[in-house]
Amino acid sequence: MPLQEFIHKLTEGSGNRFLQSVLVFFAMLALTVCYDWAQFKNLSTIEGMDAAQVARRLSEGRGFSTQFVRPFSVYLVRKHHQGDGKLNGDHPDLANGPFYPVVLAGALKVNPLGWPDVRPDANPGQQFSVYVPDLWIAIVNQGLFFVAVWMVFRLGRRLFDDSVAWVSAAVFAGSELLALQHVGPIDHAAGGVVPGAGGGAGAH
Protein backbone atom coordinates (compact mmCIF):
# COMPACT_ATOMS: atom_id res chain seq x y z
CA MET A 1 0.00 0.00 0.00
CA PRO A 2 1.19 3.56 -0.64
CA LEU A 3 1.06 4.43 3.09
CA GLN A 4 3.15 1.43 4.08
CA GLU A 5 5.68 2.19 1.36
CA PHE A 6 5.88 5.81 2.54
CA ILE A 7 6.45 4.75 6.16
CA HIS A 8 9.09 2.23 5.09
CA LYS A 9 10.90 4.85 3.00
CA LEU A 10 10.69 7.33 5.87
CA THR A 11 12.09 4.94 8.49
CA GLU A 12 14.38 2.62 6.55
CA GLY A 13 14.87 4.05 3.07
CA SER A 14 16.08 7.32 1.62
CA GLY A 15 13.72 9.38 3.76
CA ASN A 16 15.45 8.24 6.95
CA ARG A 17 18.53 10.38 6.29
CA PHE A 18 16.35 13.38 5.46
CA LEU A 19 14.34 12.90 8.66
CA GLN A 20 17.51 12.67 10.74
CA SER A 21 18.87 15.83 9.15
CA VAL A 22 15.64 17.75 9.86
CA LEU A 23 15.58 16.59 13.49
CA VAL A 24 19.24 17.52 14.01
CA PHE A 25 18.68 20.94 12.41
CA PHE A 26 15.76 21.78 14.70
CA ALA A 27 17.65 20.46 17.74
CA MET A 28 20.60 22.70 16.89
CA LEU A 29 18.25 25.63 16.27
CA ALA A 30 16.61 25.15 19.68
CA LEU A 31 19.97 24.89 21.44
CA THR A 32 21.21 27.99 19.61
CA VAL A 33 18.17 30.03 20.67
CA CYS A 34 18.61 28.92 24.29
CA TYR A 35 22.34 29.64 24.19
CA ASP A 36 21.89 33.09 22.67
CA TRP A 37 19.11 33.89 25.12
CA ALA A 38 21.47 33.11 28.02
CA GLN A 39 24.77 34.40 26.62
CA PHE A 40 24.04 37.30 24.26
CA LYS A 41 25.14 40.58 25.82
CA ASN A 42 25.54 42.78 22.74
CA LEU A 43 29.05 43.26 21.38
CA SER A 44 31.57 42.64 24.13
CA THR A 45 34.91 42.33 22.31
CA ILE A 46 37.14 44.87 20.57
CA GLU A 47 37.33 42.63 17.49
CA GLY A 48 33.56 42.35 17.30
CA MET A 49 32.95 46.08 17.58
CA ASP A 50 35.70 46.79 15.05
CA ALA A 51 34.27 44.40 12.45
CA ALA A 52 30.75 45.72 13.01
CA GLN A 53 31.65 49.39 12.59
CA VAL A 54 33.62 48.67 9.40
CA ALA A 55 30.64 46.73 8.04
CA ARG A 56 28.21 49.51 8.92
CA ARG A 57 30.34 52.15 7.21
CA LEU A 58 30.62 49.87 4.17
CA SER A 59 26.84 49.41 4.09
CA GLU A 60 26.43 53.20 4.19
CA GLY A 61 28.59 53.58 1.08
CA ARG A 62 31.66 54.90 2.88
CA GLY A 63 33.95 52.13 1.68
CA PHE A 64 36.44 50.15 3.73
CA SER A 65 36.98 52.91 6.28
CA THR A 66 37.19 52.86 10.04
CA GLN A 67 36.89 54.97 13.17
CA PHE A 68 39.31 52.65 14.97
CA VAL A 69 42.56 54.32 13.95
CA ARG A 70 45.77 52.44 14.72
CA PRO A 71 49.19 54.13 14.80
CA PHE A 72 50.68 51.65 12.33
CA SER A 73 47.86 52.21 9.84
CA VAL A 74 48.44 55.98 10.14
CA TYR A 75 52.10 55.37 9.31
CA LEU A 76 51.24 53.24 6.28
CA VAL A 77 48.62 55.69 4.97
CA ARG A 78 50.98 58.64 5.39
CA LYS A 79 53.69 56.72 3.56
CA HIS A 80 51.31 55.97 0.70
CA HIS A 81 49.73 59.45 0.50
CA GLN A 82 52.85 61.58 0.95
CA GLY A 83 52.24 62.63 4.53
CA ASP A 84 48.41 62.69 4.61
CA GLY A 85 47.27 60.29 7.35
CA LYS A 86 43.55 60.64 6.47
CA LEU A 87 42.70 61.54 10.06
CA ASN A 88 40.06 64.18 9.27
CA GLY A 89 37.96 62.02 6.95
CA ASP A 90 37.35 58.34 6.34
CA HIS A 91 40.50 56.54 7.45
CA PRO A 92 41.14 53.37 5.35
CA ASP A 93 40.73 50.12 7.27
CA LEU A 94 43.91 48.05 6.98
CA ALA A 95 43.32 45.60 9.85
CA ASN A 96 40.35 43.52 8.62
CA GLY A 97 40.18 41.23 5.65
CA PRO A 98 37.52 42.25 3.10
CA PHE A 99 35.34 39.12 2.99
CA TYR A 100 33.71 39.21 6.43
CA PRO A 101 32.92 42.97 6.45
CA VAL A 102 31.28 42.55 3.03
CA VAL A 103 29.12 39.70 4.40
CA LEU A 104 28.14 41.77 7.43
CA ALA A 105 27.49 44.86 5.30
CA GLY A 106 25.09 42.88 3.12
CA ALA A 107 23.33 41.61 6.24
CA LEU A 108 23.05 45.12 7.68
CA LYS A 109 21.59 46.38 4.40
CA VAL A 110 18.63 44.03 4.81
CA ASN A 111 18.45 44.29 8.62
CA PRO A 112 14.78 43.49 9.40
CA LEU A 113 15.06 44.52 13.05
CA GLY A 114 15.58 48.21 12.32
CA TRP A 115 17.88 50.79 13.83
CA PRO A 116 16.66 51.99 17.24
CA ASP A 117 17.26 55.52 18.47
CA VAL A 118 19.57 55.06 21.46
CA ARG A 119 20.01 58.74 22.34
CA PRO A 120 19.43 59.37 26.06
CA ASP A 121 16.55 61.78 25.39
CA ALA A 122 14.89 59.65 22.69
CA ASN A 123 13.08 57.19 24.99
CA PRO A 124 13.01 58.64 28.51
CA GLY A 125 12.41 56.06 31.19
CA GLN A 126 13.07 53.09 28.91
CA GLN A 127 15.95 50.89 30.03
CA PHE A 128 18.40 49.81 27.33
CA SER A 129 18.81 46.03 27.10
CA VAL A 130 19.70 44.67 23.65
CA TYR A 131 20.82 46.66 20.62
CA VAL A 132 18.91 44.84 17.90
CA PRO A 133 21.41 45.36 15.03
CA ASP A 134 23.96 43.52 17.20
CA LEU A 135 21.40 40.75 17.68
CA TRP A 136 20.89 40.59 13.90
CA ILE A 137 24.66 40.22 13.39
CA ALA A 138 24.65 37.38 15.92
CA ILE A 139 21.84 35.66 14.00
CA VAL A 140 23.79 35.99 10.74
CA ASN A 141 26.85 34.53 12.44
CA GLN A 142 24.80 31.60 13.68
CA GLY A 143 23.69 30.97 10.09
CA LEU A 144 27.31 30.94 8.95
CA PHE A 145 28.11 28.63 11.85
CA PHE A 146 25.40 26.19 10.73
CA VAL A 147 26.90 26.19 7.24
CA ALA A 148 30.33 25.43 8.71
CA VAL A 149 28.90 22.54 10.78
CA TRP A 150 27.22 21.13 7.66
CA MET A 151 30.53 21.34 5.79
CA VAL A 152 32.34 19.50 8.59
CA PHE A 153 29.69 16.78 8.42
CA ARG A 154 29.92 16.47 4.63
CA LEU A 155 33.72 16.35 4.75
CA GLY A 156 33.72 13.68 7.48
CA ARG A 157 31.24 11.52 5.58
CA ARG A 158 33.13 11.92 2.30
CA LEU A 159 36.53 11.05 3.79
CA PHE A 160 35.44 8.46 6.39
CA ASP A 161 31.89 7.32 7.21
CA ASP A 162 28.63 8.49 8.78
CA SER A 163 29.70 7.86 12.39
CA VAL A 164 32.85 9.98 12.00
CA ALA A 165 30.79 12.68 10.29
CA TRP A 166 28.21 12.85 13.10
CA VAL A 167 30.83 12.89 15.86
CA SER A 168 32.94 15.53 14.09
CA ALA A 169 29.94 17.77 13.47
CA ALA A 170 28.72 17.35 17.07
CA VAL A 171 32.14 18.18 18.54
CA PHE A 172 32.51 21.17 16.21
CA ALA A 173 29.02 22.47 16.99
CA GLY A 174 29.34 21.90 20.72
CA SER A 175 32.65 23.62 21.19
CA GLU A 176 32.24 26.34 23.82
CA LEU A 177 34.97 28.48 22.25
CA LEU A 178 33.37 28.39 18.82
CA ALA A 179 29.94 29.03 20.29
CA LEU A 180 31.21 32.12 22.12
CA GLN A 181 32.94 33.36 18.97
CA HIS A 182 29.81 33.07 16.88
CA VAL A 183 27.51 34.98 19.23
CA GLY A 184 29.26 38.22 18.25
CA PRO A 185 30.75 39.38 14.97
CA ILE A 186 34.15 37.72 14.76
CA ASP A 187 35.33 36.59 11.38
CA HIS A 188 35.86 32.96 12.49
CA ALA A 189 32.25 32.46 11.39
CA ALA A 190 32.89 33.34 7.77
CA GLY A 191 36.44 32.03 8.07
CA GLY A 192 35.11 28.59 8.92
CA VAL A 193 32.99 28.48 5.78
CA VAL A 194 35.74 29.30 3.28
CA PRO A 195 38.28 26.63 4.41
CA GLY A 196 35.41 24.17 4.73
CA ALA A 197 34.45 24.78 1.11
CA GLY A 198 38.08 24.36 0.09
CA GLY A 199 38.39 21.14 2.06
CA GLY A 200 35.20 19.77 0.52
CA ALA A 201 36.47 20.57 -2.95
CA GLY A 202 39.81 18.94 -2.17
CA ALA A 203 38.08 15.79 -0.96
CA HIS A 204 36.69 15.22 -4.43
Determine the distance from the C-alpha atom of residue 113 to the mean position of all C-alpha atoms in its chain, rounded to a whole number: 17
Q: Where are the beta strands (DSSP E) in the chain?
A: 65-66, 91-92
How far is it, in rounded angstroms, from Cα 150 to Cα 22? 12
Residue 188: pLDDT band with limits 50, 70, 90: low
Question: Does residue 41 have a pLDDT over 60?
Answer: yes
Predicted local distance difference test score (pLDDT) of residue 119:
63
For the segment 63-100, what is each residue's pLDDT rounded down to a tens digit? 888 888 888 888 888 887 776 666 667 788 888 888 88
Nearest to 196 by CA among 135, 154, 166: 154
Amino acid identity of residue 22, one-letter, is V
pLDDT of residue 40: 75
Name the pTM for this structure: 0.71
By the 10 Å C-beta count (0-12 exposed, 13-18 middle, 19+ buried), 45 is classed as middle
pLDDT at 201: 45
